[in-house]
Amino acid sequence: MRDRIEINKNLIPYRFDIVLAGRAYTFFVDYNRTACFFTVSLYDSAGSLLCSGEPLVYGMPLFRDVYRAGVFPALDLTPLDESGQEQAVTWENLGETVFLTVDDEGGGAVG
């Protein structure tokens, strides 16, 4: 099983600090009730916005379209259901069967 970044739907919208691959970041998690999808904004340790409103799309790593080495986390962060039953991220399944997984098999660390 991969490491997971826990998202607490009861706190949305909210922000939390996290260390990924040895670097500190702040995530801001929100939910678009009209279109029924979650978003994540990413800030660096100085509080500078790196990416705003990145949607959580099942099976697609976050920030892949805007990734810059040395700026963004050097790990893939992907919403997945490791049991293979789900195919989308929904309010009902996020944190139940679908989790924001961290591909840290290359030696990265989540803290």
Residues 6-54: pLDDT tens digits? 999 999 999 999 999 999 999 999 999 999 999 999 999 999 999 999 9
**Identity of the residue numbered 86:** E
- The string over 1-21, giving b where at least 16 C-beta atoms fall within 10 Å of a residue's C-beta and e elsewhere, is eebebebeeeeeeeeeebebb
| Residue whose structure tokens are 């997971």 | 4
pLDDT value at position 1? 66
Q: Give residue 93's pLDDT.
A: 96
Cβ-based neighbour number of residue 77 at 10 Å: 26
Q: What is the pLDDT of residues 58-92, one digit of tens each?
A: 999 999 999 999 999 999 999 999 888 999 999 99
* pLDDT at 111 exceeding the cut of 50: no
* 50-76: burial string, b at 16+ Cβ within 10 Å, e else: bbeebebebeebbbeeeeeeeebbebb
